[in-house]
Amino acid sequence: NAGVTQTPKFQVLKTGQSMTLQCAQDMNHEYMSWYRQDPGMGLRLIHYSVGAGITDQGEVPNGYNVSRSTTEDFPLRLLSAAPSQTSVYFCASNRIGQPQHFGDGTRLSIL
């Protein structure tokens, strides 16, 4: 098992550009989540999904879109990147009521 795979590992964008952060898991986990991590602020939940076709907002959803068309994939879309979205993004997956498994993260810089 590869676990949770995030791509790309690093990305630099210009303000206003769009991009999709990819997340895939091969553990057949029902739940998947996206977090951002900023210095001194821990991890903050952006969006999460409890199964294919179902998504919900977390603590800081503004500026981000998600979809869950398959169990394995949970992409995060930035429609118009802003400097405030510079952060490290982590994807996680888990079975219901079980601990989350995190990917290695995507380090995103927006100029």
Residue 33 CB partners (closer than 8 Å, separation 6+): 45, 46, 47, 48, 49, 58, 91, 92, 93, 100
Examine residue 26 and tell whether it contacts other proteins (CB under 8 A): no
Examine residue 43 and tell whether it contacts other proteins (CB under 8 A): yes
Examine residue 85 and tell whether it contacts other proteins (CB under 8 A): no
Question: Which residue bears the tokens 């995103």?
Answer: 108
Using the rule CB under 8 A, which residue among 85, 87, 94, 106 binds other proteins? 94
Using the rule CB under 8 A, which residue among 68, 90, 106, 108 binds other proteins? 90
| Run of H or E including 88 | strand 87-94
CA count, 13 A, side-chain hemisphere, 7: 4
Contacting positions for other proteins (CB under 8 A): 31, 33, 35, 40-45, 48-50, 56, 58-59, 90, 94, 96-97, 99-100, 102-105
